[in-house]
A and B are shown apart, each in its own frame.
Chain A
Amino acid sequence: MGVIDEEKASDNGYVPPLRQIQVGGTTEPISVAERIQEPDPLLQQEEVPYFDDTQPEWFEQIMRTESLSISFGDKKAVKEVSLPVNAGEVLALIGPSGCGKTTLLRSLNKLVDLTPTAKREGRILLDGTDTDLYDDTYLRRRVGMLFQQPNPFPMSIFDNIAYGLRERGSKRPRKKELEPLVVDSLKRAGLWSEVKDILNQPALALSGGQQQRLCIARSLAVMPEVLLLDEPCSALDPISTSIIEETIVELKDEIAIVIVTHNLQQAERVADRVAFMYLGDLVEYGVAEQVFNAPQAERTKDYVRGDFG
C-alpha cells in the first residue's frame, strides 16, 4: 500500500508525481528505432498539471486511485497514477497501445490481481474506502466490467442476466422473483425489445452487438456503481458501436463509467473527461473538450492530432 504525503495531497485527491522530470535532451532528428531506445524527449518536458483544479467540485467522486503503480515482474505498466472517477460522468482512458490504460482499468476491480506476477503499490479508493478492505467479490459487484470481446455464457439469455443475481449456496431465488430485475436490466441496456420473446434461447445465438449489450445488461443486473469498459466496441460493426455508445451516454446518469478506447472519435463522442496515458504515466487529465481542443502537454497534442498511435 502506498503512503501518501499528507502535505502534497490536495483536497481533490491529486498527488503530484514523485518522479523528477529533467528538461533538455537532443534536438536533432532521430529515427524511430533510435527514439525507442532513448528516453522519450517529449516526456522530458516541463511538468504539466494533469489534474484540472479549475473545475468546480460539485461532482461526486466515486472512485479514485492514489499513486497507483502496477508492475508485472520487472516491467512497470502503470506508474504513480492518481486519477479520480466521478459519478454521473464518462471517463475515457486514451493512449497508444501498451501505455497501461487497460491495466489501470483492470486494477479498479482487481482483475489485475488474478495475474500471479502482478504487483500493486498505492491505493484504490471506492467511496473513500480503501478497496483492500473489501472482499474481491464484493468490490466486483460494485464495480462491474465489460470486455473487448462479447462473452455471454453458454446458457439462455435469461440465465445470463440472472447469473450474477443467483447466490451460491442454500436458497436459490426462483425464476419469478428474478424476472423483474432481469427485464429491468435488459431495458436499461436497450436490448429488451429485441429479446423479450426469446429469453430462453441460447445467448450465443445473438449477434455480436446484441451479445455485447447482453453483457452490459448482465453487468447492470448486479447494480454496480461503476462500470468499466475495456474497448467495448473494438469487435463490433459501426451500427452496433453507435448503439452501444448511445447506451453508454444514457447510463452515465445512474452509473459512473470508465472506458478504455483506441478510438479517439469515440472518446470525443461519449466522454466527459479524458485521461491520456503514455508509457505508464498519466500525462494529462481534464474535461474532454479541453483535452481534445486545447491539450496542455506536447505528448497529448501529438496523440490527439494523430501524429502517433
Chain B
Amino acid sequence: MATSRKKQAQARARKKKVRTPGLWSLSDRIGVFLAWAAGLSLCVIAAVITLFMAWKGLSYLNLDVVTQSPEASLEQDKTGGFLDPIIGTVILTVMGAAIATPIGIGTAVWLTEYGRPAPLARFVEAGVEIIVGAPSIVLAIFGLLVFQQGFMAPFSFTAAGGEVFGRSFFAAGAVMSLIALPFVVGGTREALNSIPKHVREASYALGKDKASTIRRVLMPSARSGIATGATLGMARIAGDTAVVVVLLGASLQLAPEGGLPVIDVLKGTGSTLTSYVFQNSPAGEGNAPEKAYAAAFVLLMIVVGLNLAVNWIAKRGQHKWV
C-alpha cells in the first residue's frame, strides 16, 4: 500500500515541469530596478539633509553661540547664543530617561518573566502600544491638565497669586519619560526574550529563586538591551518639540523658580534646542534664522550621536550562548 502511494507521488512529480533557471522576466527586472531606485533615493535624501544642515549650521556655528545665553532682540546680532537651550535639552533628556528606565525595566520584567494574569499583561502591552502611537502633543496636553492641578504646585512654575501654570522641567520631564518608556520596555523585553530558557533553568538548578535569578542573571544579561532602549528613548526626547512648547513654556533662558539650588531650575521654565529652532526659524517669532540653523545642526549631531551610541552598545554587549 505504501509503495503504491510512493509511486503515485513520483508520477505526480514527473508531470510537474521543472522550470529551468534563465533570464529574469521583464516585470521582475522593473521591480528590482524600482527597489534599487527607492533605496538609493533615500540615501540621497539623507545625504542632502545632512550636508545642507552641516553647511548652513557650520557656517553660523561658533564658540559664542554655544557659550552665550539667548537674548530677545530684533537684530540678529544681538540675540546672543543658545547655551540655555542646550542645557535645557540635556536636563530634559536625562530627566526623562531617569524616570522612564526603572519603570520600563519593571514593566518589561513583569511582562516577560511573570505575565500573569494574562489579561492584565495584554492590557499593559496595549497600554504601551497606545503610548507609542499617541502624538506627543496629545501627551503634552494631558500632562498640562495634570500639572495644572493645585497639588502639583511644588513641581510647577506658579504665579504670584498662587495660580499653577503646569509648566516646568518637572512637568516636561515627566511627560517626556512617557515618550522614552516604550523604547525601554521594548529593548528590555527583547533582551530578556533572547536569553535562552536553559540559562534561567541553570540558575534555578542551583537552588536560586526567581527573584535572585532576575536580579543576578537576567539583569546583567539584559544590560545592553536596556541601555539600547534607554538611549533610543533619549534620542526621541531630544528631538521632541510639542511637549517642550506646551509644558516647558517659551522663555528663552532658564527661569529658576523658588530659592532652592538645582530644584529651582527644574521647577522653572526654559527652552530646548527644538523649541529654540522653532522660535527662531523663519517661521517663528524670534527672527534669527542663522542661529536656528546652527542650533538645528547641534541637535542633529546630538541625535546622530545617540543613535551611534545605540549601535556601539548593541555590538559591545552581545552575549553569545551556544
Contact = CB atoms under 8 A, between A and B. Distances in A.
Interface of A: 31, 33-34, 109, 111, 114, 136-141, 144-145, 147-151, 153-155, 163-164, 168, 204, 208, 211, 215, 218-219, 222, 235
A235 B208 CA distance: 25
Contact of B199 (A31, A153, A208, A219): A153
Contact of A137 (B207, B217, B221): B207
B220 A154 contact: yes
Residue of A31, A154, A168, A215 with highest tally of chain B CB at under 10 A: A154
Interface string B288-322: 00000000000000000000000000000001111
B321 A149 contact: yes
Nearest to A166: B216
Contacts of A148: 198
Given A149-B196, A153-B199, A219 B322 contact: no
Contacts of B212: 168
List of 10 A-B pairs having minimum Cβ-Cβ separation, nearest first: A141-B207, A31-B2, A164-B206, A145-B205, A140-B207, A137-B207, A147-B198, A154-B319, A168-B212, A151-B199
A31 B1 CA distance: 9
18 contacts: A31-B1, A31-B2, A136-B204, A138-B207, A140-B204, A144-B206, A145-B201, A145-B205, A147-B198, A147-B201, A150-B322, A151-B321, A153-B203, A163-B217, A168-B208, A168-B212, A208-B322, A218-B206
B209 interface: yes
Residue of B204, B205, B208, B216 with highest tally of chain A CB at under 10 A: B205
Interface string B179-218: 0000000000000000010110111111111011000110
A208 B321 CA distance: 9
B2 A204 contact: no
Contacts of A218: 202, 206
Contacts of A208: 322
Contacts of B322: 149-151, 208, 211, 235
Interface residues of B, number: 24
Nearest to A149: B322
B202 to A, nearest CB: 5
A210 to B, nearest CB: 12
Nearest to A135: B207
A117 B202 CA distance: 20
Given A138-B207, A163-B203, 19 more contacts: A31-B1, A34-B2, A111-B205, A114-B204, A137-B207, A144-B205, A147-B198, A147-B201, A148-B198, A151-B202, A151-B322, A153-B199, A154-B217, A163-B206, A163-B217, A204-B319, A215-B202, A218-B202, A222-B206
Contacts, number: 82
A151 B319 CA distance: 11
B208 to A, nearest CB: 7
Residue of A136, A138, A139, A149 with highest tally of chain B CB at under 10 A: A149
A288 to B, nearest CB: 26
Given A31-B2, A149-B196, A168 B207 contact: no
Given A34-B2, A153-B217, A155-B220, A222 B207 contact: yes
Interface string B12-29: 000000000000000000
Contacts of B217: 153-154, 163
B205 A151 contact: no
A189 B259 CA distance: 64
A153 B205 CA distance: 13
Nearest to A31: B2
A154 B205 contact: no
A218 B208 CA distance: 13
Given A31-B1, A163-B216, A168-B212, A151 B198 contact: yes
Contact of A149 (B198, B204, B211): B198
Contacts of B202: 145, 147, 151, 153, 215, 218
A153 B198 contact: no
A109 B205 contact: yes
A163 to B, nearest CB: 7
A188 B203 CA distance: 20
Contacts of B2: 31, 33-34
Interface in B126-143: none
A145 B1 CA distance: 47
B201 A137 contact: no
B221 A154 contact: yes
A244 to B, nearest CB: 14
Interface string B217-231: 100110000000000
Nearest to A141: B207
Contacts of A168: 208-209, 211-212
Interface in B21-58: none
A150 B207 CA distance: 18
Contacts of B208: 137, 163-164, 168
Contacts of B321: 149-151, 204
Contacts of A34: 1-2
A151 B206 contact: no
Interface string B148-182: 00000000000000000000000000000000000
Nearest to A169: B212
Contacts of B1: 31, 34
A219 B196 contact: no
Contacts of B319: 154, 204
Contacts of A235: 322
A150 B202 CA distance: 10
A111 B201 contact: yes
A150 B209 CA distance: 21
Contacts of A153: 199, 202-203, 216-217, 220-221
